[in-house]
Copies of this chain bind each other. A is one copy, B any other.
């Protein structure tokens, strides 16, 4: 996997590539990201230097009170350091680097950071990069020029690859940068839009040609139907699942997708790669169906189950709740996913997904 990245990190944990587009009809904005663990023993010194460097700026976060409403003052000029977020701009601004520590509530029952946490942190740092650029006009990364043209970003595709899951208390350094292809959507008409000249002028200085994941020729994800192996219906978003744009947040999509898989599979495996292809927005009143189909030909060769299934074991041990049969069951390692919503008697696709899984070597869940 090391050769799939052009980053200088010795120990990469997470890589991410996000394309903001819908169907290829426009240019695509690509945000890449990667999280690497900071080994304290080796890097404490450089960490101190880096922190010291951050003290040269007051940081961009200011809150004003406007009547009873609190209002944040987003900087309109480029910032170089954010001591509060422990972030620095590197390579003249085209790259943003933030240090975070995995929190106690960001890990799951197995004490490693959840996929949701990783996705959220990658979104957070990309947004903070725009914040520090001085271009940010609103909460979801739209620039001043985009707001004047009533444009918003739309995510079309995301690919996250997890090499290692960081543990509770681990220090992460997250790098994020922006690729050279972009697109946006009109907020009112919900149609894709060409990039206006003024927006191109704003953002073109930020492009760099570097990828977190060197993607092979990407196959389109096939569309599942309701004859798939796993189907969860009547999924309803809660208020707490909505983001600042009043859409169901990306983390909830992923949760709906993965929770369709059997518990026993989820206990024994962790996700090593997820690709998402977005088709349609999902609002607060939609009712969602999550469908999942394994690639049956991806069952890993494993232990010889029949060897331990001798007559000396009772049926309870073999087939009980925490049974040997369950523990030894061989699961497929690749799955296709579909989230869809019911509208006017038919189903509309929200997002297609592909996941790849690895057997956990250490299980504590």
Contacts and interface: CB of A to CB of B under 8 A. Distances in A.
Copies in the complex: 2
Interface in A146-191: 164-171
Interface string A71-89: 1101000000001111000
A220 interface: no
Nearest to A247: B109
A170 B51 contact: no
A63 B114 CA distance: 18
A238 interface: yes
A239 B115 CA distance: 12
Given A69-B361, A101-B61, A244 B171 contact: no
Interface stretch (A41-49, A292-300, A309-317): A41-49
Given A105-B120, A111-B244, A59 B84 contact: no
B266 A61 contact: no
Interface residues on A, range: 35 or more
Given A48-B55, A54-B51, A169 B246 contact: no
A123 B106 CA distance: 12
Among A51, A83, A104, max chain B CB count under 10 A is at A104
Contacts of A244: 104, 107, 109, 111, 168
Shortest Cβ-Cβ A-B pairs, 6 listed: A44-B58, A72-B169, A69-B362, A68-B361, A105-B120, A109-B242
Given A48-B55, A70-B112, A86-B86, 5 more contacts: A40-B61, A44-B59, A47-B58, A63-B170, A103-B124
